[in-house]
Amino acid sequence: MQTLTPPPAAPVGERYLADCAMALDLALDQAPFYESWRPRDPGQTIPVDARYAALPVLTKRDLRAHMPRGFVPRPRDFQTGIATGEIELVSTSGTSEDRASIVWHQPWWDASEHSAASLYQGLDRVINGSQREAVLTTPLCAGTVCHIGELTQAERTLGRLLFLNQKADPNHWTPADKNRMLEELRLFEPDVLEADPAYLAILARYAAETGAPAPKPRFISLTYEFPSRVHYRQIRRLFPNTPILSSYGSTETGHVFTECEQGRFHQNAAFCRVDFQPFRNGRGAEHVGRIFISILNNPWMALVRFDVGDLIRLSTDPCPCGRTRGLTALAIEGRTRDLTFTVGGEAVTGGQVDRAIGDLEGLLAYQVEQPGPGTYRFRGVVEPAFEKQLFAEAEARLRGLYGDTARITTQRESAIGAEQSGKFRLTRTLFPWDTTDLFEPKGTVS
């Protein structure tokens, strides 16, 4: 693994601000996309946080329209980079409106991953560039779209990486699929099992139900989507003693937050800047807001204030683990598009819903839909033994969350499927709304 320049012995905060300034200057001066942003920059004499705050937000739509050339800073050149093998063009997962292509520079990604691993004790010793990783998420090639069919384990093993899944929706895994993946995991003995929590929950439940021996990864890293308590419970049952951490990032941004041993999320400050924009007073919970990510120290791609579409809850006190660099979040709160609204119109995050109902005993999967203002539908996949109490209890708790006059219906489901992107949505509205006025326009902190 090629590592990037080790940090010089400068105070942590200063180094961070210097990285932020450097990334911003490189973007504004050298990356064609940001030409139109330049007039908004108050200039280098102003503190760097204020300069960032003055700039617009970068959207997926911008990425789709201007990638790759708009984001490769001069003097680097996309065509040359591809020819020398330094970069690739990579499509992120997701449905078309969610999807973008980005310029992928493997050494930057590896360095970001390694640095993020230092935020969980012992993990950085494993993430050393030669770790064996098994990946359980959407398939490289979804079975229903792709016509090349099933791949052998050898074909799914890329160096030290094993890609386990081959199906677009884990609800369609057959017992044979699940047995195969469990068996491959046992034989491959990964250092890290990197899993979409919804997928791993289904696999873990199956293993626990059939009494299949548990694989023994050294760490389980949950990523790709919001981990629900429902997932944790099913995963824990199969892996009672394995360290499980949640890792937040994306193809566009690299690793952004890592959950530490104390369960809080620390910013991977050597490789990304995070700007936080809280809800307006009364429009959503206190200390919760959306985040804009700028990537640092990536010579091949300049992303500034990219709206990843996710929300976090800031920690207001220092984490007991002692890590102080960058932001500390109490929780990743889910996606902005997954917000629902109370009877009074206040935004409710996926995290809030999950904390309200995710621990209901016997609940295996759920989705809370909001068909219109004030009306809610709880869809649950439940263990039959718990059915009776569970729905009444879910209704009561959701009423507590959304308001006394909430009209709530409940529905038992056989399965709640993944979206086309292969990801699950725990909450969603069925009516259009937008983020205008939801967030504090100025109050971004970083």
Partner 1 sequence: MTPPDPFPALDWTRADFPLLRRQIDGHPLTHLDSASTAPKPDCVIEAVCRFYRDHTANVHRGVHVLSEEATEAFERAREEVASFLNASPAEIIFTRNSTEGINLIAHSLDLKPHDEIILPALEHHSNFMPWRIHSRAVPIRLAPDGIPHYEDLDEHLSPQTRLVALAHVSNILGVVAPIEKWIDSAHRRGVPVLIDASQSASHVPLDVKALDCDFLVCSGHKLLGPSGVGVLYGKREKLEALSLYQVGGGMVKVHDDHQFTTQDLPWRFEAGTPNIEGVIGLGAAVAYLRRIGMNTVFRHSQALGARLVEQLRTLPGTVILADSAPLEQRIGLATFTLHAPGWGSESVARNLCDRHQILVSGGYHCAHILHHRLALEGTVRASTHVFNTPDEIDRLVAALREFTGG
Please, what is the minimum distance in Å from the beta carbon of residue 96 to partner 1?
4
Q: Is 152 a binder of partner 1 (CB under 8 A)?
A: no
Tell me which residue of 37, 440, 421, 428 sits closest to 199, measured CA to CA.
Answer: 421
Q: Which does 414 bind (CB under 5 to 8 A by kind): partner 1, Zn ion, none?
A: partner 1
Q: Which does 44 bind (CB under 5 to 8 A by kind): Zn ion, partner 1, none?
A: none
Q: Is 403 a binder of partner 1 (CB under 8 A)?
A: no
Q: Is 411 a binder of partner 1 (CB under 8 A)?
A: yes
- Residue 57: Cβ-neighbour burial (10 angstroms; 0-12, 13-18, 19+): middle
Give the residue, chosen from 420, 433, 435, 443, that forms a contact with partner 1 under the rule CB under 8 A.
Answer: 420
Amino acid at 193: L
The β-bridge partners of 254 are: 250
Tell me which residue of 129, 133, 89 sits closest to 112, measured CA to CA.
Answer: 129
Give the residue, chosen from 56, 107, 139, 143, that forms a contact with partner 1 under the rule CB under 8 A.
Answer: 143
The phi and psi torsions of 140 (rounded to 5 degrees) equal -55, -35
Q: Is 369 a binder of partner 1 (CB under 8 A)?
A: no
Q: Which does 321 bind (CB under 5 to 8 A by kind): Zn ion, partner 1, none?
A: Zn ion
Tokens of 37: 């942003």
Give the residue, chosen from 114, 167, 305, 313, that forms a contact with partner 1 under the rule CB under 8 A.
Answer: 167
Q: Which does 264 bind (CB under 5 to 8 A by kind): Zn ion, partner 1, none?
A: Zn ion
Please, what is the minimum distance in Å from the beta carbon of residue 95 to partner 1?
5
Q: How far apart are CA 23 and CA 273, in angstroms?
A: 10
Judged by CB under 8 A, which stretch of 75-83, 114-122, 250-258, 413-421 contacts partner 1?
Answer: 413-421
Please, what is the minimum distance in Å from the beta carbon of residue 318 to Zn ion?
9
CB-nearer residue toward partner 1: 208 or 381: 381
CB-nearer residue toward partner 1: 88 or 419: 419
What residues between 77 and 116 interact with partner 1 by CB under 8 A?
95-97
Please, what is the minimum distance in Å from the beta carbon of residue 31 to Zn ion?
34
Q: Is 417 a binder of partner 1 (CB under 8 A)?
A: yes
Tokens of 393: 């209890």
The phi and psi torsions of 194 (rounded to 5 degrees) equal -100, 115
Q: How far apart are CA 102 and CA 99, in angstroms?
A: 10
Q: Which does 260 bind (CB under 5 to 8 A by kind): Zn ion, partner 1, none?
A: Zn ion
| Cis-peptide, bond into residue 373, ω within 30° of zero | no
Residue 117: how many CA atoms within 13 Å on its side-chain side?
22
| Cis-peptide, bond into residue 75, ω within 30° of zero | yes
Amino acid at 2: Q
CB-nearer residue toward Zn ion: 210 or 262: 262
Q: How far apart are CA 175 and CA 320, in angstroms?
A: 43
Q: Which does 10 bind (CB under 5 to 8 A by kind): partner 1, Zn ion, none?
A: none
Q: Is 140 a binder of partner 1 (CB under 8 A)?
A: no
Q: Is 169 a binder of partner 1 (CB under 8 A)?
A: yes
Residue 412: how many CA atoms within 13 Å on its side-chain side?
12
> DSSP class of residue 40?
G
Tokens of 414: 């056989």
Residues lying near Zn ion in the complex (CB under 5 A): 260, 262, 264, 319, 321, 323
Which H helix or E strand runs over 10? none
Q: Is 19 a binder of partner 1 (CB under 8 A)?
A: no
Q: Is 29 a binder of partner 1 (CB under 8 A)?
A: no
3-state SS class at 81 = helix
Q: Which does 262 bind (CB under 5 to 8 A by kind): Zn ion, partner 1, none?
A: Zn ion
CB-nearer residue toward partner 1: 336 or 367: 367
